[in-house]
Amino acid sequence: MSDSNHQDPYEAGSLDELCDLLLEEEGVAPSESARRPLLETLAMLPFELESVELEAGVKEQLFDRIASERQAQGSANAEAPPTASVHSMAEHRSAIETSTPAPMNAAVSTASKPGWLLPIAASLLLAIGSLAYFQRNELQAQRAVNAQIQSQFDVVESKLEALEQDRDLALTSLAQASQPGTEACALKPRLASTAPQAHGTIYFMPEGEGWVLSLDGLEDVPGKTYQLWFLNDEAAMSGGTFLTGNRPYMWTHDKMPPPGTRGVAITLEVEGGATAPTGPEVLFGDAEDMISFL
């Protein structure tokens, strides 16, 4: 049962990556709602395949499995709390007694049999009942422990997955940023920056291959988004919005900044971004020396 319950049905892995690629290119902050139409589009791909006929037995087996799981769940739900279980034990004993084969019943009820048989039978039933009660409690405790371990495992697994994604992105970005001919522009906090500890670098890759943004120390602010700007003498062009997830952040883009870019800035804007910088400037980098490059 755990093999399916721990899986997130919305797990899309590499499809999320595909969606985010398009969203980032269009300057839309990746989010579940922004991804949805793209995921729906991708999820149509299997409809292109010829349907495969499954044996009729597969469906029957499915409903058999459901019936047995339902039965198992029913039994588990029927397990009453300890106080009530004394009562159910008695009922259980009663059920056992009533279903006891005839010869034993006869032995219990026959007056001609020795009188000590009845107390011994009752003691035995009580002992069996107590043992069953003990085992059921043990089982419940074990189930609770298992559920706790499973939930811890799920948390660790999702963290590991996030770390792996970060690592993959970092490796890719590093490979791109370390190409010969790459120019680096340091991003530093302004005096009035809301994030004085933040710092970063934007790498411009040669031959128009794009840029890699690497940031550290930028904490997300609820209801706000960070926005990247390329500045020239007259205007600021948006490079897109992003959230850091309160982790070191890397962003790779395969287009160059607009020609004439002389500076790079990161501001804090309202969710969805702005058409021109309005929020506080968090980081700034002087790209003046890269005029010929850009």
Partner 1 sequence: MSTIEPSAVRTEEERKRRAAEDAAALKRVAEGDDSALSHLYDRYSGMLAALVQRIVRDSSDAEEIVQKVFLQAWKQADRYDVTRSSVSTWLVLIARSRAIDLIRSRKVKDRTLEAVQQEKKGQYTSNEGGERVWLDERRKKLRAEMGKLPVEQREILEMAFFQGMTQREIAESTGTPLGTVKTRSLLAMKKMRLALQDEVKGLL
By CB under 8 A, name the one of 9, 115, 222, 223 that touches partner 1. 9
Q: Does 116 bind partner 1 (CB under 8 A)?
A: no
Q: Does 78 bind partner 1 (CB under 8 A)?
A: no
Q: Which of 2, 31, 34, 43 binds partner 1 (CB under 8 A)?
A: 43
Please give the order of strands across the beta sheet that includes 183-189.
236-242, 224-231, 263-270, 281-286, 183-189, 199-204, 211-216, 249-253
Is 180 near partner 1 (CB under 8 A)? no
- Binding flag, residue 42, partner 1 (CB under 8 A): yes
Size of the site for partner 1 (CB under 8 A): 55
Instruction: Report the C-alpha dihedral over residues 73, 75, 76, 80, rounded to 10 degrees.
Output: 140
159 is an interface residue for partner 1 by CB under 8 A: no
38 forms part of the interface with partner 1 (CB under 8 A): yes
Among 2, 37, 127, 186, binds partner 1 (CB under 8 A): 37
The number of residues in the chain equals: 294
Out of 171, 174, 186, 291, point to the residue binding partner 1 (CB under 8 A): 171
Q: Which of 79, 91, 219, 254 binds partner 1 (CB under 8 A)?
A: 254
Contact flag: residue 18 with partner 1 (CB under 8 A) = yes
What is the closest distance, in whole angstroms, from the C-beta atom of residue 11 to partner 1 in the complex?
A: 5
- Residue 82's contacts (CB-CB under 8 Å, 6 or more residues apart) are 137
Does the protein bind partner 1 through residue 39 (CB under 8 A)? Answer: yes
Please choose, from the candidates 252, 238, 276, 244, the residue with its C-alpha nearest in 3D space to the C-alpha of residue 28.
Answer: 238
Q: What binding mask, one character per residue, do residues 181-220 give for partner 1 by CB under 8 A, x or -?
A: ----------------------------xx----------
**What are the residues binding partner 1 (CB under 8 A)?**
1, 3-5, 7, 9-15, 17-19, 21-22, 25, 32, 36-55, 58-59, 61-63, 65-66, 69, 168, 171-172, 175-176, 209-210, 254
